[in-house]
Amino acid sequence: MNSIFEYFADIFHTVKSLLTGMKVTGRYFFSPWEIVTQQYPENRKTLKMYDRFKGEVIMPHNDHNEHRCTGCGICETACPNGTIEIIQAKIDMPDGKKKRIIDRHIYHLGMCTFCGLCIKACPSDALAWGQEFEHAVFDRSKLNKTLNQPGSSIIKDIVE
């Protein structure tokens, strides 16, 4: 007798608990303003990332196509996985001395782990985080970027 009672009590409790759960889903079904889904590719125009978002490492240039990189190579040593390659050039200064400048600052985006050590280590604040995040390309060689723009030079007031 008792076990039959328990049997039906179990069924009753199970149905009740299922209905409690379905109440939650039902509530959200009828309150569409609580839906949080972002329609990603459609909202590309309005999508704004947070200011500190780590999309990629960039080298900001000013209006005169000037950057702050001295080519010292500290970021190259700070990087844990060889993502950055610094290729230096030597130029002749007017006073006859030779000066070392950056020729190419190569950044292999495909290897970057976004740890931020290069940006922290750079003594002249030449690097920053960029907001771009759509990095999918068909050929991985496209992920090797040169951060200093062609023809760019260093801002005059940077001292080494």
Q: Site residues (CB under 8 A) for another protein?
A: 10, 13-14, 16-18, 20-21, 23-25, 36, 50, 52-54, 78, 80, 113-117, 120, 129
Burial degree of 9 (CB within 10 A; 0-12, 13-18, 19+):
exposed
* Amino acid identity at 102: I
* Sign of the CA dihedral with 143 first, then 149, 154, and 158 last: negative
Under the binding rule (CB under 6 A), the answer on residue 148 touching ligand SF4 is no
72 binds ligand SF4 (CB under 6 A): yes
- Residue 85 to residue 107: CA distance in whole angstroms: 7
Query: Taking the complex as a whole, how short is the minimal distance between the CB of residue 140 and ligand SF4, in angstroms?
Result: 16
Integer CA distances (angstroms), 113 to 32, 55, 56, 77, in order: 38, 11, 10, 15
Min CB(102)–another protein separation in Å: 21
Among 27-35, 37-45, 92-100, 120-128, the segment contacting ligand SF4 (CB under 6 A): 120-128
Instruction: Select from ligand SF4, another protein, none the partner in contact with residue 62, using the beta carbon and a kind-dependent cut-off of 5 to 8 Å.
Output: none
Tell me the two tokens of residue 8: 């039906």
Give dist(CA 15, CA 19) in Å, integer: 6
With a CB cutoff of 8 Å and minimum separation 6, the contacts of 4 are none
Beta carbon nearer to another protein, 35 or 93: 35
Nearer to ligand SF4, 26 or 116 (CB): 116
Q: Which of 62, 65, 113, 149 binds ligand SF4 (CB under 6 A)?
A: 113
Minimum separation from the CB atom of position 79 to another protein (A): 8
- 107, 83 in Cβ contact below 8 A? yes
Which residues sit at the interface with ligand SF4, rule CB under 6 A? 57, 69-75, 78-79, 81, 83-84, 86, 112-118, 122, 124, 126-127
